[in-house]
Structure 1
Amino acid sequence: MQTVLPDHRYEQEEITEAFSQLTAADGELLKRFHSATGVTGRNLALPLEDYPKLDSFERANEMYVEIALDLGERAIAGALERAGLPPEKVDHLVFCSTTGLATPSLDARLAKRAGLRADVKRVPVFGLGCAAGASGLSRLHDYLRGWPEQTALLVCVELCSLTIQRDDTSIANLVASGLFGDGAGAVVATGHGEGREVVATRSKLYPDTEHLMGWEVGGHGFRIVLDAGLPAFVESVLAGDIRTFLADYGLTPDQVGTWICHPGGPKVIDKIVANLALPPEALEVTWRSLREHGNLSSVSVLHVLQETRGRTGEPAVLLALGPGFSAELLLLHW
C-alpha cells in the first residue's frame, strides 16, 4: 500500500487567503468556514499562484490528467515495492477517481507507464466519490475470491482542488474549498499471503438521498453538492447499519479493536463516534489525517488504513461514505 501527496504543501491560512482572492465570497465568512473544517494544511496539485490560470473546465481537466498520471504512477510503484512484487505480476487493475475525466481512462495510460502487462484486466470507476477507496477494496476482495492465485491492484487518484469554482459563493462550496485536498493511493492485494485480511464486505445504498452529496456537472465543470442535512442523516442510519453488519458475524462495536474511518468532516466523524459509543481515541488516525491533509475523497480511507497499526488478532472495521448516498463497510482481520 502506498499513498502519495503532491509536492505543493500549504498551511490552511495560506489557502484561505488565496481562495478569497479568487471568489466573491465574504472573506470573514470564508475564514470561519475554513477554520471549522479542522484542517490545518493541505497538499495541492498546483502551486497556489497557478490556480487563477484555471479559467475553464478544459484547462482544469488537462491539468487533472497530467498530474493524476504522475501521482498514480508513483503510488503504483510504491505499493508494488512494498509488496515485493514486479509490475508484470498484476492481473487485475481497479482505478477510481471522481475529480476529472479522460477517455481512454487513466488506468489504460497508467498500465503502460507502470509496466503492467498488456493483458491486465481493467475496471475504471467514476462517481463513487469518497466511498470509492472502500468500495475498491471490496471489489478487489470479490475478484480474488474467484481468482485467489492472482494479484489485484487498486489505484485511487483525486485532485479536488482542480474543481475550484470561483463564482460559486454557496455555503457548500465555501466549506468544500476548505475541506478537500489532493492525493493518490494504491493497494496491492492477493488471494493468499500475510497482512491485513478482508473477512467480509457490505454496500448500502440509501434511496432518495441523491441530494445529499455529489457534483452538479456543466460547462463550469464540477460544482459541489453538499447538503447541510448530511450529518443528521448519517446519525439516523449509519450506526444501525454498522451494528447489523457486525451482528451478522457475531460481533458488536465494542469488540472491534480498530476503526479505519474516512475523514469526511468534523461533524460526520463526531456523529460516528457518538452513535457507536466509541472511545475518543478510536478515530485518532482519522482525525490526524483530516487535520494534516484534509479530505482526500477516495484516497483518504486508504491513507488512514496505511497509517493505522491494528492489534493482531482483533477485528477491524473500515468504512467510507459517498454519493448515492451510500456507505461501504469492510470487516478486516489483522
Structure 2
Amino acid sequence: MGLAEGPVLVRVPATSANLGPGFDALGLALALHDEIEVRVAGSGLSLEVSGESADDVVGAGERHLIVRAMRVAFDALDVAQPAGLALRCVNRIPHGRGLGSSAAAIVAGLLAARALAGASVAPGDVLPLASELEGHPDNVAPCLLGGLTIAWTAESKDEGLAEGATLPPVPCARAVRLEPLPEVRPVVFVAPESVSTKVARGLLPAAVPHGDAARNAGRAALLVAALTSSPGALLDATEDWLHQDYRAPAMPQSHELVIRLRAAGVPAVISGAGPSVLAFLAGNSGRDDASRLDSIAGETGIDWRISPLAVERRGASVVPRVSSAR
C-alpha cells in the first residue's frame, strides 16, 4: 500500500463529554471545527499552526498530537513512514478547556494518515484506535460520528485464531449515534484558564456510594430521552453525582457557574473534564436567553467566552486526496 502525496483536508469538531451524568459514556459534537491539511513531503516535518494555542504547539515537532497519531496509524496499516510530512493546522477548538481538543487532534491524525494510505476512513474503522490513543471513547466517538453518541468498551474476539488457541480479550471501543432534537441549543461558556484533564481525573474517588451511582444511572438514561425526545426534562436529566462535585476544587468558578445557572432553571454541566461549562436551551426565546446567560455568568466575576453553538450532526470529514498513489 503506497501513499498519495495529498493534500488531504480534514475537518474535526469540538465535543463535550459526560454531559453531566453520562460520565465516560455520553458525548455531543459541537459546530466548532479545527481544520488540518496534510501532504507527503520529500523530507523532514513542516508544521504550520494558526489560531487557538498556536504558539504553544507550533514547535512541538514529532510530539505534536496529530503527527503522533499519524505515525501510529501508518504503523497500524503496515505502511512505511513517509520521508517527510507537511501539516497546516487551523485551530478553533480551545485547548485544555474540556471541549475535546485532544480527541479532535487524534481523530484528525488518524483520518489524514488513512486517507493518504487509501484506507477506509469510516468511523467504525477509526474509533477503536482513536479511543486507545485518547484513553476513553466519549470524545472521539462524537468527533467521528457527529450528533449525540453513547460509547462503551467491549471485549473483542480474534476469530482468526487456530482452533483451541486463546488470547486475552482485547478492549475495543464501540458507539451508537443518536439525533438530538433541533430545538435543543448548546451554549458553551469557555473558561479563561485551562485545567489539566489528568488533574481533574485525579480528584475522583476510587468508589462512590451505591445510591449516588443508582441515581446517576437513572439520570443518564433520562438525559438520552431528554436530548432526543423530551427536552422539558433536561434540568433533571443533567444532574450528576459521580464527578462534578469532586472536581470542584480544581475549577471553583466553573462549579459556581453551574450552580447559578441551574438555580435559574438552566440545564448546565461541566463540559468534559472542565473547566468550560455547557448549558442547554430549548425553545425560541433567543435574545432574552442570551441576555440572561450573560448576566448569570457575570455574577461569577470572571470573563467567560460565551458561544452559542449548533450541534455538529455530520462529524469529522475528509476531502479526498487529489493525486494518485505512488
Relative to the length of structure 2, the TM-score reads 0.29
Specify the structure having the higher radius of gyration (Cα).
2
Relative to the length of structure 1, the TM-score reads 0.29
More helix by share: 1
